[in-house]
Structure 1
Amino acid sequence: MTLPPRSVALLTNPTAGKGRGARYGVAASAVLREAGVSVRALVGRDADEALDLARDAVADGVDALVVCGGDGLVNLALQVVAGTGLPLGVIPAGTGNDVARYVDLPRNDPAAAARRVVAGVTRTLDLARTQGRWFATVMAAGFDAVVNERANTMRWPRGQMRYNLATLAELPAFAPRPYVLDLDGREVRLDATLVAVGNGPSFGGGLRITEGAVLDDGLLDVVVIKPLTRRQLVRTYPKLFAGTHTTHPAYEHHRVRTVTVAAPGIVGYADGERFAPLPLTIECVPGALILLS
């Protein structure tokens, strides 16, 4: 479908990507305005204000909401546009940019990404929802979530290195945990290193944990990595970037419409954002997002 927008709200996170957000927002705005698109520029002082600004702009009437930032800002925008039929545009400016990877948006060229918005070509995608919150990529609910939780307490360094250091800090205490999964009504009890629930195939900047996930099939991909030793975990990690971990004996994969994940001491993270402690019930909502792509 093609829906060229005449007016957009452009929500920018100026600190995304170590300052790329600010630069990319200016470049994208220039392209949009040159194309005759009316641009309402929005910058929030924090996530709560950004969410309020986006909601107000959409309520006032625009043809699309466009975000310039990373997957965290995309997640914020989903809470505004999911299920409404209002298109979402993305100018990738973050560290991971997995949503942009899904639809092959230019990740280092804000002008090219803005021209995709101007073209107005849309794609309808599924989203995942839990406790009234939406996400587009992957819900981390295992060792990766524990690493995220520690990284959130660290003020230094920024970017990927913070997660690398958090991983090293968590490894000494690493141990598989007992999980209870409800897979479309079928209960499974097992010990696991990691459980991930994917709407899309990757998170964390291209870690293809839920390799094979399809964005418009009406299903979630639930990946279980059964118990690994610390050494096995470290050796398996690089395979996630290529999606070749799927051949590991500890790998298990399910496709479901709804899943409940329960385990002690785990806080779920999705689109890089902190959601809530397990247990969480996650459902696929087909066609919930219209993405300008």
Structure 2
Amino acid sequence: MTEPPGSATAPVSESVQRRRTSLLWGSTAAVGFALVWLVVGLGWSPVLELDRATGQWPQETTAQHEWLRHLTLGVSYAFDLIPMTLYTIVTAVLLYMRNHVRAAAWTVIVMLTTSVLTTVVKQVVRRDRPEWDEPLHRLSSYSFPSGHASAIAAAASVAAVLAWMLVRRRNLRRLVVAVAVAVAVVVAADRVFLGVHHLSDVVAGWLLGVAVASFAVALLDPIPRPSAPRVEAMPAVFPSSRQLAVVLNPAKVDDPDAFRAMVEAMAAEAGWEQTTWYETTVQDPGVSQAHAAAVGGADLVITCGGDGTVRTVCEELAGTGIPIGIVPAGTGNLLARNLELPLYLRAAVDVALTGQDRAIDMVSVSGDAMEDSTFLVMAGMGFDAAIMEGVNEDIKSKVGWLAYVLSALKSLMFPAVRVEISVDGAEPTKHRARTIVIGNVGSLQAGMPLIPDAEIDDGELDVVLLNPRRFLSWLPLAVRVLSRNKRTDETITRMRGRTVRVVASGDSPRQLDGDLIEPGKELYAECIPGRLLVRVPRDKERSRLRQRVTGGA
């Protein structure tokens, strides 16, 4: 989602601008609806003749083709009252589960209000359904306005608003809006081809649905409100000028200037006095930028980018005591997902500015043919790294995480390798595996709970070896992983310790936090407890600590 540029007062200006735009759309649609209602109510002959002329050919065409009749009836049933109610409930529940409570409530209000107003207007106008010599489908309810058209127009408006709010990729947002509009057109045309509505009924339904959704944006803005006005400032150990630094990967946001304006406005509202910006480059993915931010006296560093940018900045700031706010703007966003950070940019910036500091572990890693490095989420060898190696960047830029799925399908039968693993310096054990993962967290790509007991601040590493013997063996293996089954056998082997050494029989692909490194035979990982301070949501951190204390009791 892009944000309009502005000054320190941009949140107010942006909100006002959004409200004005929504009111303009709503007012235009409402006036159009009122005009259609007026001419229909007055029985204006040009409109009645147009309704008859535009309805006769579609209805007769449907009557002449049995397949078209079945198709139009299928569309009618798929977008009837009960299915639309179910779609609304599912959408609201998913939004609520992703902590978008305002958007969930807004969605329900839009769809419910549209349905109620449609029913009320039907009873007021009492327009009869079109009459045909050979009716295809009989309905006893009134005709004006079309309930299917108003509901699908409201739903398409909801989809457009949610896409603008939640989808970062511009092309994907446009695709969502285009599909929503296309479905609205199909559903509306279906009412005319089925012969149960006049064209004016459908147009009125569209206008009503758009008007309700637009006015709802103006009156009940679904955009999450910033936490700054509602929470106390984080206590400072020493007096501070509250300097904020932002390390931005400009390639990961649609409009860097708009993102800057949004962050500076929210920072000013949260009480930060100064914001300094650093942009990464292909040659320098964040090392010098994070160093400059630390040397410049930043009290908080926000990093916005993909997993590679986040890992680089965190590695540079580890041990400095400077908290890091993570604004995930990549495809995997592995660390952000495991810390339960919001993926919506504005909400993530809000957490970075007003959240609570949490000390998490970092892992130092070394091996043959590689420089000493670190990771926060995982290191992988074998099939796991082959997925990263096989990702097509062009496809990734268009479909996001689905590119990893396609690569995984191509790499399912990556050959097993013989490895020796030593945990905490013990005698190495011999294994055969298609993939070896050293994890600092529980969930890996696509939210797969590969290590359900792992904690990012427990001071230990978790090792998982997967060795499905045949192609079809991946199916029961996936079921076991997704169901959080902790049973171990020759297919899944688990280990735990502070240090882990993996030595393979031959060179194998390797990755750190989703970034490929040189293939090699060895990985040595050591957990460094509490090495990094990151900002997390206050309510979730309190809940997590409460659960840990209760569980320990």
**Structure 1's 19 and 262: CA in aligned 2 closer, same or farther, altered over 3 A?**
farther
CA–CA separation in structure 2 for the residues paired with 1:72 and 1:3: 31
Matched residue SS, 2:469: coil
The 8 Å contact of residues 306 and 328 in structure 2, kept in 1 or not, is answered as: yes
Report the Cα offset of residue 275 of structure 1. 3.4
* Structure 2 letter corresponding to 1:46: V
Report the Cα offset of residue 102 of structure 1. 2.3
Question: Is 2:401 the counterpart of 1:163?
Answer: no
Equivalent of residue 356 in structure 2, options 89, 109, 121: 121
The gaps in structure 1 that reach 5 residues or longer are none
2:508 is matched with 266
- Hey, which of these two has a bigger chunk of helix by percent? 2
CA–CA separation in structure 2 for the residues paired with 1:134 and 1:90: 17
1:225 is matched with 466
Deviations 1:247-273 (A, max 9, x none): 464212111010011222323212111
- Show the 5 A alignment for 1:182-221: 182-186=422-426, 187-221=428-462
- Show the 5 A alignment for 1:60-139: 60-108=296-344, 110-119=345-354, 121-131=356-366, 132-139=372-379
Matched residue SS, 1:129: strand
Q: How many residues align?
A: 287
The 8 Å contact of residues 78 and 135 in structure 1, kept in 2 or not, is answered as: no
Report the Cα offset of residue 224 of structure 1. 1.3
CA–CA separation in structure 1 for the residues paired with 2:451 and 2:265: 37
Q: Which has the larger radius of gyration?
A: 2
Higher relative contact order (CA 8 A, sep 6+): 1
- Hey, which of these two has a bigger chunk of strand by percent? 1
CA–CA separation in structure 2 for the residues paired with 1:105 and 1:59: 27
Deviations 1:68-117 (A, max 9, x none): 12222211112211122121111122222222222222211x33322223
Deviations 1:168-190 (A, max 9, x none): 3334x522111111111220111
Matched residue SS, 1:197: strand
* Structure 2 letter corresponding to 1:177: V
Equivalent of residue 289 in structure 1, options 532, 541, 544: 532
**Structure 1's 119 and 204: CA in aligned 2 closer, same or farther, altered over 3 A?**
same
Deviations 1:110-131 (A, max 9, x none): 3332222332520111111113
Matched residue SS, 1:157: helix
**Structure 1's 235 and 227: CA in aligned 2 closer, same or farther, altered over 3 A?**
closer
1:54 is matched with 290
The 8 Å contact of residues 220 and 284 in structure 1, kept in 2 or not, is answered as: yes
- Comparing 265-274 with 195-204, greater Cα deviation is found at 265-274
Deviations 1:4-31 (A, max 9, x none): 6811211112333x74877655433331
Report the Cα offset of residue 223 of structure 1. 0.9
CA–CA separation in structure 2 for the residues paired with 1:282 and 1:21: 36
Matched residue SS, 1:45: coil
Aligned Cα root-mean-square deviation (Å) = 2.6
CA–CA separation in structure 1 for the residues paired with 2:246 and 2:479: 36
1:146 is matched with 386
The 8 Å contact of residues 138 and 202 in structure 1, kept in 2 or not, is answered as: no
Report the Cα offset of residue 216 of structure 1. 1.4
Question: Is 2:275 the counterpart of 1:39?
Answer: yes
The 8 Å contact of residues 280 and 286 in structure 2, kept in 1 or not, is answered as: yes
The 8 Å contact of residues 236 and 245 in structure 1, kept in 2 or not, is answered as: no
Matched residue SS, 1:278: strand
